[in-house]
C-alpha cells in the first residue's frame, strides 16, 4: 500500500493492483539474502514480485550456511582487517550462480535482475566482477553498505574485516550505466 498526498488533502491510502498477465515482460529477479538470513526470509517478497509479474528465484541459503564464514578466522588477513572475499565466500558465490542458472530459462533469452539485501548487495557486486554480468541488467540493493567504514575513528570497527575495502578497491563502482542499472535503497 502506498500513500498519496497532495498539499490540500489529508493522506489517503492507495492500493496498487498486481499485474496479472499470462505473458510477463518483466525480467526475472534473483534475490540474494543478507548476512544471517535464509531463503525463507524472502518468500513474502518473492510472492509479491510474482503477483506483479516478476518471476523470482531466491538463492538457496540457510542460517547454518553463514557459519562457513568462520573459516575466515584462520586467515591472517581477517585479523589484519584485509580479508578478501575468496575463498571464504565461495560458497555464497556458488549459491548466486545456482540461482542465476535456475532463473535464466525464465528470462527467455533476456536478462535478469539481482536483488541483494544487505551483504547480498555487495556480494552481488563481487560476483559480477569475478564471474561477469552478461546475464544481469539490474542490481537493486536493499540496505546494502557499499562503502567501507571510515578509518581512524575511535569506536569504529570494520565488521567485514576488510571485505568492503576490497569491494571499494576492486569492484566496478555502483553507478547507473546503459549496460547495468544500479538502484540502491537505504544504503550508501
Interval 100-157: pLDDT, tens: 999 999 999 999 999 999 999 999 999 999 999 999 999 999 999 999 998 888 988 8
Task: Enumerate the H helices of the chain as residue ranges.
Answer: 43-51, 76-80, 90-107, 119-131, 163-170
CA distances, 145 to each of 30, 108, 120, 160, 182 (Å): 19, 32, 10, 10, 14
CB distance 171 to 123 below 8 Å: no
- Look-up of cell digits 591472517: 76
What cell does 156 get? 569504529
Gap between the Cα atoms of 61 and 11, Å rounded: 40
Query: What pTM, to 2 d.p., does this model score?
Result: 0.85
The percentage of the chain sitting over the pLDDT mark of 70, rounded to a whole number, equals: 87
Residue whose C-alpha cell is 498519496: 4
Buried-state track 114-138, b at ≥16 Cβ within 10 A, e below 16: bbbbbbbbbbbbbbbeeeebebbbb
Compute the distance between CA of residue 84 and CA of residue 69 in angstroms, rounded to an integer: 12
**Residue 173: which pLDDT band, with cuts at 50, 70 and 90?**
confident
- Residue 72 pLDDT more than 70? yes
Report pLDDT for 17. 53
CATH classification code of 29-185: 3.40.50
Amino acid at each position: 500500500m502506498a500513500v498519496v498526498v497532495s498539499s490540500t488533502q489529508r493522506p489517503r491510502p492507495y492500493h496498487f493492483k498486481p499485474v496479472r498477465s499470462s505473458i510477463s515482460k518483466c525480467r526475472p529477479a534473483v534475490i540474494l539474502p543478507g548476512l544471517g538470513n535464509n531463503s525463507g526470509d524472502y518468500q513474502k517478497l518473492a510472492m509479491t514480485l510474482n503477483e506483479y509479474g516478476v518471476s523470482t528465484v531466491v538463492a538457496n541459503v540457510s542460517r547454518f550456511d553463514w557459519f562457513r564464514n568462520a573459516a575466515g578466522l584462520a586467515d591472517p588477513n581477517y585479523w589484519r582487517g584485509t580479508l578478501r572475499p575468496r575463498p571464504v565466500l565461495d560458497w555464497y558465490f556458488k549459491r548466486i550462480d545456482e540461482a542465476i542458472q535456475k532463473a535464466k530459462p525464465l528470462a527467455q533469452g533476456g536478462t535478469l535482475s539481482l536483488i541483494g539485501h544487505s551483504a547480498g548487495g555487495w556480494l552481488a557486486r563481487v560476483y559480477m566482477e569475478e564471474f561477469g554480468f552478461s546475464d544481469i541488467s539490474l542490481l537493486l540493493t536493499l540496505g546494502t553498505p557499499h562503502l567501507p567504514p571510515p578509518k581512524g575513528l575511535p569506536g569504529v570497527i570494520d565488521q567485514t574485516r576488510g571485505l568492503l575495502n576490497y569491494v571499494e578497491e576492486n569492484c566496478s563502482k555502483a553507478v547507473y550505466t546503459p549496460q547495468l542499472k544500479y538502484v540502491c535503497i537505504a544504503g550508501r
